Structure 1
Amino acid sequence: MFRRRFRMSRNLFLRIVDGIQNHDVYSIQRSDSLGRLGLSTNQKATDALRMLVYALPVDATDEYIQIGESTAIQCMQRFCRAIVEVFAEQYLRLLTANDVARLLYIGKQRGFPRMLGSLDCMHRRWKNCPTAWAGQYAGRSGSPTIILEAVADYDLWIWHAYFGMPRTNNDINVLESSSLFSNLAQRIALPAHYNIGSKEYDVGYYLADSIYPKWSTIVQTIHAPRGQKKQYFAMKQESCRKDVERAFGVLQSRFAIVASPARDWKKNHLHDIMKHAL
């Protein structure tokens, strides 16, 4: 029952509660001047998680946890910020040599030696986008959205995420603005030596769709493939590239707040919510 309601195990919930309690004094239960105890850490964490997992309105948890609307908003904001500051270094970090070796091994087993993951973008609707910003955040659909760029592997581990670009940008603009290839441009990327034909490469590559530029670090599919070899390559590339699409689907199903229109007014709060979910 605990896993069904909280979308996580009890041990994971207690680990999160201990982490934010040791990091942010706001989450600690305190008493007022009359000696009355305030909200406990479990109540604050439960309120934040129910809004994140089920996309509940702010006042929907009032009867369940006995918490006011303004306090519920503050609890979720402080909860997401604490999660990012405590756990981001462990889960949202640069690749290590062991991580690269594991990704290269998985790519080789799937028929793409030296593949580091699948690259793509998703859009999250911003319902309460400020009117002054609506023009740059609204694209052809007419609704303001914010772009999330991510790289995911077969295990749905999103090891690169870049969130915050307006909807009027395409995937190429997001790629140029993100830090995905910044280390590669500075010649400090982890090595991944391999050969394709008679040509040698010293960096890994990513699977992406046709909108991305034709770089040596991005492998696209073949449109209208002719011949058995090209058809087989297109089939394998498209099947492996769906890793990041599966990751987006699991992310939105696990945290309904990511799939629903964002009701926050400030962009930094949306950024913390997205990084918390990742």
Structure 2
Amino acid sequence: MRHSLFIRIVKACEANSNYFKQRRNAAGVMGFSAFQKISAAMRVIAYGIPADYTDEYLRIGEDTTSESVRRFARLIIKLFGPTYLRAPNEDDTKRLMEINEKRGRPGMLGSLDWTLNDINVLQRSPLFAKLANGEAPTYNYKVMNNEYTMGYYLADGIYPDWATFVKFVKDPQDRTEAKFAKAQGRSSQGH
């Protein structure tokens, strides 16, 4: 996550919840900061670690981490849900495709690699569900003189062999594969 995005999230949480504002306790000692509570919550959510694991890294106990996760999740849904946690519409999908086309990857909806977490998230993705069911918005593009009408995800070998996944080329065998691997930004040693 970009630092600027993390700061934006922390500031929004602080501004909309007293729980995330750092305060002094009855003994006059400063409590946990929004940065600590949100970092703990994000680690639990992103990595699926138990709440008591954050004590070692962030010096926050299990109870505080658990409460931070609950409050953080509710607050993120309230603050960002209507904009970022909704199913993408046709305009969103086209905008995403246009951005990736400018990056030299026409038709790409996203890039997935190395984690089973991506597969779990992907299975819950409204965008992917529409794409898998052939309901995604039409987006015409051409790659190597082949015309396509539906987007794809750039993925590695753990993903199923579906038309919506274009796999990374690990060990290019000819000039065409080498060119494709280079366009993917992958080297044969990298994966």
Q: Do structure 1's residue 209 and structure 2's residue 178 form an aligned pair?
A: no
Flag the 1:85–1:50 CA change in 2: closer, same or farther, 3 A.
closer
Q: CA deviation at 1:181?
A: 3.1
Amino acid at match of 1:78: R
Higher strand share: 1
Q: Do structure 1's residue 15 and structure 2's residue 7 form an aligned pair?
A: no
- The TM-score normalised by the length of structure 2 is 0.61
Q: CA deviation at 1:77?
A: 2.9
Q: Retained in 2: the 8 A contact 1:221–1:238? A: no
Q: CA deviation at 1:118?
A: 0.5
> CA-atom RMSD, angstroms?
4.2
Indicate which of 11, 26, 37 corresponds to 1:48: 37
SS at match of 2:92: helix
* C-alpha distance in 1 between matches for 2:20 and 2:168: 52
Q: Retained in 1: the 8 A contact 2:41–2:69? A: no
Q: Do structure 1's residue 105 and structure 2's residue 98 form an aligned pair?
A: yes
Provide the residue aligned with 2:174 in structure 1: 227
Q: Retained in 1: the 8 A contact 2:10–2:38? A: no
Q: Retained in 2: the 8 A contact 1:120–1:208? A: yes
Q: Do structure 1's residue 188 and structure 2's residue 135 form an aligned pair?
A: yes
Flag the 1:238–1:220 CA change in 2: closer, same or farther, 3 A.
farther
Gaps of 5+ in 2: 44-52
Where do residues 154-173 of structure 1 align in structure 2 (5 Å cutoff)? 162=121
Amino acid at match of 2:38: L
Flag the 1:44–1:78 CA change in 2: closer, same or farther, 3 A.
farther
Q: CA deviation at 1:70?
A: 6.5
Flag the 1:50–1:44 CA change in 2: closer, same or farther, 3 A.
same
Q: Retained in 1: the 8 A contact 2:54–2:65? A: no
SS at match of 1:105: helix
Q: CA deviation at 1:192?
A: 1.4
Flag the 1:20–1:220 CA change in 2: closer, same or farther, 3 A.
same
Q: CA deviation at 1:149?
A: 0.8
* C-alpha distance in 2 between matches for 1:57 and 1:112: 42
Gaps of 5+ in 1: 22-26, 30-35, 62-68, 123-146, 151-160, 163-174, 241-278
* C-alpha distance in 2 between matches for 1:117 and 1:46: 29
Indicate which of 64, 75, 88 corresponds to 1:72: 64
Q: CA deviation at 1:200?
A: 4.3
Higher relative contact order (CA 8 A, sep 6+): 1
Where do residues 32-43 of structure 1 align in structure 2 (5 Å cutoff)? none
Flag the 1:83–1:121 CA change in 2: closer, same or farther, 3 A.
farther
